Amino acid sequence: MRGRTAWAAAGGAAALLLTTATGAHAEGRGDIRVVKTVVNNGGNVIVGTSKTIRYPVDITVRDNSGVKKLTDVFTFNKTNGYTFATWDGDSSCTKKSTTTSVCRATLTIDPAWIADSDTIDSNRVAGVWRIDATVKANDGDYWISDHIAEYKVKRAARLTTVIAPEKAAKGAAVTVTGKLSRANWEDRKYHGFPGQQVRLQFRKKGAAQYGTVRTVTTDGAGKLSTRVTVTSAGSWRWYFPGTTTTSMRVSAGDALDLK
């Protein structure tokens, strides 16, 4: 059975029902086929603790009679089958030729619902997700297309930088600190992310780009700290490249002036 998430209101209270996904398949009738799928314009879907996220799924469909509509779009974590993304059933198809259209569906993730969407730690649902869809042609042909695309749903990250002191003489040592944290979808708070390699970067005053100076690993609380020698005025920042389950993050730069 294919996985489905259903949202229902009962007695004025919203309830979430979940069936996890099992085997993949593709079946239908006629020559209609999905030829291309792009999720969120090719980018990752980043989910924090409060903001509702809506992202597009663009499905290119071809049939000799022309394309009528999408009748189902479903997405879930490809490893454990859980999902907290919903589709309200609306879509629009833009005709590209007599046989081909690009149909767009919009999926929604509300962080307020995530913790109630499964029976496991919801943070385990971050990672690689897949898209399934059912498409229909003008002549009644239809096709259930499973695993037509993969993309990543990631926990949002935060990253800070503080340099002290903010004014120092050339050759002096200063301390650059910071903290890397990420969204916890269970309690909807940000917690420190330990054991992660984060790049310390510097941009000389007047320069256009930052360059990496060294890599530092976050401690058990997600904190960063290192000492650097002042060579010129400029801005310091931390850069975290992200993981399969956590978003990339660049902190705001903190300026250092020479005495």
Structure tokens that stand for 87 in this block = 């589709």
Verify that 215 and 120 share a domain, yes or no. Answer: no
Which domain CATH number covers 102? 2.60.40.10
Verify that 149 and 235 share a domain, yes or no. Answer: no
Dist. CA 105–CA 91, nearest whole Å:
5
Please give the chain's pLDDT, 259 residues, in tens.
233 333 322 222 222 333 333 334 568 999 999 999 999 999 999 999 999 999 999 999 999 999 999 999 999 999 999 999 999 999 999 999 999 999 999 999 999 999 999 999 999 999 999 999 999 999 999 999 999 999 999 999 999 999 999 999 999 999 999 999 999 999 999 999 999 999 999 999 999 999 999 999 999 999 999 999 999 999 999 999 999 999 999 999 999 999 9
State how many domains the chain has: 2
Verify that 186 and 142 share a domain, yes or no. Answer: no
Q: Are 39 and 148 in contact (CB under 8 A)?
A: no
Verify that 239 and 148 share a domain, yes or no. Answer: no
Verify that 167 and 101 share a domain, yes or no. Answer: no
Which range of residues forms the domain containing residue 71? 4-155
Say if residue 124 is exposed, middle or buried (CB neighbours under 10 Å; 0-12, 13-18, 19+). middle
Verify that 143 and 181 share a domain, yes or no. Answer: no
The phi, psi pair for 122, rounded to 5°, reads -60, -25
Q: Where a domain ends, among 155, 170, 195?
A: 155
Dist. CA 249–CA 143, nearest whole Å:
40
Q: Where a domain ends, among 114, 138, 155?
A: 155
Q: Where a domain ends, among 126, 155, 184?
A: 155
DSSP E strand stretches across 63-204: 67-77, 86-95, 100-109, 127-137, 142-155, 157-164, 167-168, 173-184, 189-192, 197-204
Question: How many residues belong to the chain?
Answer: 259
Structure tokens that stand for 246 in this block = 């956590």
